[in-house]
Amino acid sequence: MKKNIAPVLIVLVLIVVIGAVGTVTFLIDRKTPSKTHMDLSTYYNVTDDTQVALVADDTVCEKLGKLIDGSVFVDYDTVSTNINKRIYWDPEENVLVVTTPTQVIKNDLSVDNPGVYRLIDGQLYLSMDFIQQYTDMEMQMLEAPARMVMKTEWNGYSCVDVTADSAVRYKGGIKSDILTEVTAGTVLRLVDTLDNWYQVATADGYVGYIEKTSAGEPYEQTQEHTSSIGDYTSLTKDYKINMVWHQTTSQAANAALAASIANTKGLNTIAPTWFFINDTDGNLTSLASTDYVNAAHNAGMEVWAVINDFDGAMNSSDGTYTVLNSTAKREKIIAQLMEAAAATGFDGINVDIEKVPEKGGPDFIQFIRELSVSCRNAGLVLSVDDYVPMPYTAYLDRKEQGIVADYVITMGYDEHTSSSEEAGSVASIGFVKDGITNILKEVPANKAIMGIPFYTRFWTTNSNGVIESATYNMTDAAALVDQYHLQTYFDETSGQNYGEASDELNEYQIWFEDADSIGLKMQAIQEGNLAGVAAWKLGFESADIWDVISQHLQ
């Protein structure tokens, strides 16, 4: 019996030993980093010797370049998205427009120039030599596989230093294939941070992952850099802007300027609504007045003439897109503005174009670029009005506005409008503070102006839940307290005096704009160290508002 048990025990012991060895082997293998190098032609998706991978800063571009007659050509979409968005293609008019700080350079694509551009299957390709001529960049051509590595960003990004010889892997995991090996002391650009890995970009064109244990803490890259194409200069003032929009719809309103500003204090800038885009041909209606400019100057104010796309005969996003999408029409508008500035002597232009559809974002910002060149060369201040930053208006590219324009004005109102489904504030303090926080992520404080309202909405909700509102100036809004027997108190959440009442027919609500609410908004502007304030609109304020504004702009 014992002889029969012994072989069984031996077998069981062997099974246990083999299982243990297998488990240990599995655990060791699991903890052992892969030494496999990724096929780099697969990584870059390069399949033949006419293709060139394109790497711009921390991005491996989706599309490949083409090697033609010894030169690298890049498709226009990649150029505008990843390399230089100031190179603008107008396929309808067959022109390529390049804007620099002081020039608008037009290239007629109907003239054959194969060293600069090629049309391939209807797509525009530009030579890297041409692109580099108008781009503040460094580039290097590397082999195995062929790739063009470009640097176009010089500051404002994070880096990590490699602290121990390591590998940059395709994905964040030790079993992922190796893209390249890096030695201690190598500087890598930081793209993103995971739990145990950094996503990084190398100087020779790889974007992958390195273990945090092999790199130091992230730090901001700062370096002295002189732009190869010149810097954008600005006409920002050495004082805080105290601006008010002046809604002028006739020459009679111009003539009434003296009376309109008689009770104001501290104003140094006035923005009359003088220019309207009147049709899809780019013709402007103008109310510009030399007498108005002279009167404003005598009162110690600069005049920033407003151009908008909603007060004229044209009032639609389709119309605005049609105008801004045309290089010739943009030129036409700018020429009319420059002619009026020379004739009347106003000091700046305020762009209040609000009906830009998402597809028109590149055309709108191109208009701002081109207008900025004319304004810079003519010594005119350029300011642009924007909605409070929201993800769905990111296409307006406020960061680029903050580079090429002198001021970016955030219209910190219309939190609730006539089309809102519920009653609410025109501009609660939280709405304004969020606007300040978000605009400062894109625009320098010395170029950021916050717009505030001199108006409010009085809300009526009937027994069926139907909501209506009407707009009131500060003085008339205050009179509603007695008229409707409103119960009022200061609402900490909105940062406003709030009033409400009801009768057998309706519920009434109002969030007042007054000295209390404006004071809180001005305090937020002061704390953000913004370039100033702009108010909509002249004549809607109560007399005490000017002292409130002035005391926060000292």
How far is it, in rounded angstroms, from Cα 184 to Cα 296? 64
Token pair in block for residue 269: 């800038």
DSSP assigned state of 79: I
Helix 361-378 vs helix 327-344: angle between axes, to the nearest 10 degrees?
Answer: 30
- At 336 the pLDDT is 98
Average pLDDT, the chain: 94
Residue 6: is its pLDDT beyond 80?
no
Q: Where in the chain is CATH 2.30.30.40?
A: 158-220
Residues whose CB falls within 8 Å of the CB of residue 519, separated by 6 or more in sequence, listed in order: 548, 552
Q: Compute the C-alpha angle 507/512/415, nearest 5°.
A: 85
Output the pTM of the full model: 0.91
Closest by CA position to 545, among listed 234, 267, 228, 346: 267
User: Which H or E run contains 193?
Assistant: strand 187-193
Q: Where in the chain is CATH 3.20.20.80?
A: 241-454+514-551
- At 16 the pLDDT is 59
Q: What is the largest CA-CA distance in the chain?
A: 124
Distance of CA 448 to the CA centre of its chain: 12
pLDDT in tens, 468-526: 999 999 999 999 999 999 999 999 999 999 999 999 999 999 999 999 999 999 999 99
Annotate 454-473 with b (16+ C-beta within 10 A) or e (fewer): bbbbbbbbeeeeebebeebb
Mean pLDDT of 410-428: 97
Residue 435: is its pLDDT beyond 90?
yes
The per-residue DSSP string of 145-181 comes to: TTEEEEE---SS-EEEEB-S-EEEESSSSTTSPEEEE
Residues whose CB falls within 8 Å of the CB of residue 473, separated by 6 or more in sequence, listed in order: 454, 455, 539, 540, 541
Q: Which residue has the tokens 């007045």?
A: 289
Q: Are 330 and 280 in contact (CB under 8 A)?
A: no
Residues whose CB falls within 8 Å of the CB of residue 67, separated by 6 or more in sequence, listed in order: 49, 50, 51, 52, 73, 146
**In Å, what is the CA distance from 100 to each residue of 28, 96, 370?**
58, 13, 9
Would you put residue 75 in left (φ > 0), alpha (ψ -120 to 50) or beta?
Answer: beta
Provide the 3-class DSSP secondary structure of residue 214: helix
**Domain 158-220 is classified in which CATH homologous superfamily?**
SH3 Domains (2.30.30.40)
pLDDT in tens, 363-402: 999 999 999 999 999 999 999 999 999 999 999 999 999 9
How far is it, in rounded angstroms, from Cα 473 to Cα 497? 15
Closest by CA position to 247, among listed 539, 544, 542: 539
Q: Are 385 and 304 in contact (CB under 8 A)?
A: no
- At 222 the pLDDT is 83
Mean pLDDT of 45-71: 96
The per-residue DSSP string of 457-480 comes to: EEEEEETT--EEEEEEEHHHHHHH
Per-residue pLDDT band at 10 (split at 50, 70, 90): low
Bridge-partner residues for 435, per DSSP? none
Query: What is the amino acid identity at position 510?
Result: I
Residue 95: is its pLDDT beyond 80?
yes
- At 31 the pLDDT is 67
**Domain 241-454+514-551 is classified in which CATH homologous superfamily?**
Glycosidases (3.20.20.80)
Mean pLDDT of 45-69: 96
Distance of CA 206 to the CA centre of its chain: 28
Mean pLDDT of 172-188: 96
Query: What is the amino acid identity at position 237?
Result: K
Bridge-partner residues for 180, per DSSP? 168
- At 4 the pLDDT is 61
Residue 113: is its pLDDT beyond 90?
yes
Residue 23: is its pLDDT beyond 60?
no
Bridge-partner residues for 519, per DSSP? none
- At 18 the pLDDT is 60
Token pair in block for residue 242: 């105290």
Q: Are 327 and 90 in contact (CB under 8 A)?
A: yes
Mean pLDDT of 70-99: 97
The per-residue DSSP string of 351-394 comes to: EE-----GGGHHHHHHHHHHHHHHHHHHT-EEEEEEESP-GGGG
- At 24 the pLDDT is 47
